A and B are shown apart, each in its own frame.
Chain A
Amino acid sequence: MRRVVITGVGVVSAIGNDADAFWASLSAGRTGIGPITKLDASTLRFQNAAEVREFDPNGHFDEKRLLWLDPFAQYGIVAAREAITDSGIEFTDDLRDKGGVITGSCLGGKMTEDGLYYKLYAEGKQHHQPIAIPRGMSNAVASHVSMDYGLTGATFTTSTACSSANHAIGQAFWLIRQGTLDIAVTGGSEAPICFGNLKAWETMRVVSPDTCRPFSKDRSGMILGEGGAMFVMETLDHARARGAMIYAEIAGFGMSADAHHLTMPLVDGAAKAMRLALKDGDIAAEQVGYVNAHGTATQANDTMESAAIRSVFGEDTDKVAVSSTKSMHGHTLGAAGAIESAATVLALHHQILPPTANFTELDPECNIDVVVNEARPASVEAAISNSFAFGGLNAVLAFKSWQD
């Protein structure tokens, strides 16, 4: 069976607009959560988010191109460019033929739609630029990146709420492993900071009025974040042949459905996806030293996820370090799996586990080893990254450390 490795990483996030800055913040436990600046949030029940800052679209795209790019697409394309440059890959005709782009997004171009509907319904304007449909489509990032680099293999977008990017990355991994693709650009991006969407989240009563404190006794909900992360993924043989730097091996992918409830997560479904990811990667539970948790800081998720981790790792649970980096980059919804995979891959690469920031006191219902507030050096052979979506759709990726 073909082995698959990560050779390029790109990130745009609230804690850094490239992979180096992102890792510097993660390893320092620096949070990007702060007051919302992109709109007036004073009338909402929450005023904080993890916004991308100092991102100048004009520095990345010319004016004509920018007209066609929702912020979610800007983040995805910029992250993809960084990952591709970072990987040092040179696309040949053969590679383009079996090269694909597989992305995840929950909301797609929600900001574009929000702007259109405001002009239509609130301002009564009847004339609109003919950009809303191609700007708004969820597959925009996959399409733009495939066009930019001439990649003509399997290319598509998955949308499974907060598991979108993990489903996308898992599919890219399997398509390379089974020989359909030789190389993939894969990840996810999201731009949820528009008024209509924030209002919709407000009604769910799961967003914290304060900050994101995963696994803490006094946690008060999630904090929405924006950004994107992308990877270059290829076969181990191909990476070795061209002398590429390998960040980590992607070894396993597991998915499941709770078949239970739209918003109440289930231990069994989450545990099943984790078990399947380990089985798929032929990884024993005792090989796993780190779990990058879904860890939204909602009451329901964190107790459920802690129980699921204990169910999967049994008596080895106390040897598994767990953190939720959402405490720093926020919950980026359809991009969460990608940004958290970047955190996981970089953690394996540096052998340093990023912490759960904003942590106060462990909830006794979350009986796991949480890495709190400060990064922890560790010797970790394998790690998993969890995503559990509204709708009960779970996707877990398993990575193995690669030390040349």
Chain B
Amino acid sequence: MSEVTVSERVIRVFAAFKKVSTEDIKMDTTFESLGLDSLDGLNLIFELEEEFGIMVPDDKVQSMKSVAEVVEGVEWLLANPDSQPKIPSAPIADKS
């Protein structure tokens, strides 16, 4: 998967989330400049997890504050699938 493709997909997720044109989202666009607070940021990360079928670890979230940083983080996670938390195959009922 080329870098351009990941970047484009990330930009599409940002644009859809903010309901703006993809042209309004640049690599140096930050969460802050889009008016996204911490809770919005968590929702955007969730959308990215859905788009790429990945699980972003908590410590990676801290380093994702701009489009460029998200692209970098997503590419790293795609290249290092073992570092992603495992997605459970089925829910587990409690014993009580």
Size range of the chain A interface in the assembly: 20 to 34
User: B interface vs A, CB < 8 Å?
Assistant: 37-39, 42, 46, 57-58, 61, 85-88, 90-96
B96→A118 contact, CB < 8 A? no
Some 15 contacts from A to B, beta carbons below 8 A apart, are A38-B96, A39-B94, A39-B95, A42-B86, A43-B85, A43-B88, A45-B58, A71-B96, A111-B96, A115-B94, A195-B91, A195-B92, A195-B93, A262-B39, A264-B39
Contacts of B96 in A (CB 8 A): 38, 71, 111, 115
A203 within 8 A of B: yes
CA distance A205 to B56 in the complex (A): 10
Secondary structure type dominating chain B contacts = loop
B37→A264 contact, CB < 8 A? yes
A263 within 8 A of B: yes
CA distance A34 to B85 in the complex (A): 20
A114 within 8 A of B: yes
A263→B38 contact, CB < 8 A? yes
A241 within 8 A of B: no
Nearest CB of A to B42, in Å: 6
B57→A45 contact, CB < 8 A? yes
Nearest CB of A to B49, in Å: 10
Smallest Cβ-Cβ distance to B55: which chain A residue = A45
B94→A194 contact, CB < 8 A? yes
CA distance A216 to B87 in the complex (A): 31
Contacts of B90 in A (CB 8 A): 122
Q: Report if A209-B91 is in contact (Cβ < 8 Å); known contacts: A204-B42, A261-B37, A263-B39.
A: no
A118→B91 contact, CB < 8 A? yes
A20 within 8 A of B: no
Smallest Cβ-Cβ distance to B90: which chain A residue = A122
Nearest CB of A to B13, in Å: 17
A196→B46 contact, CB < 8 A? no
Chain A 110-129 residues near chain B, CB threshold 8 A: 111, 114-115, 118-119, 122
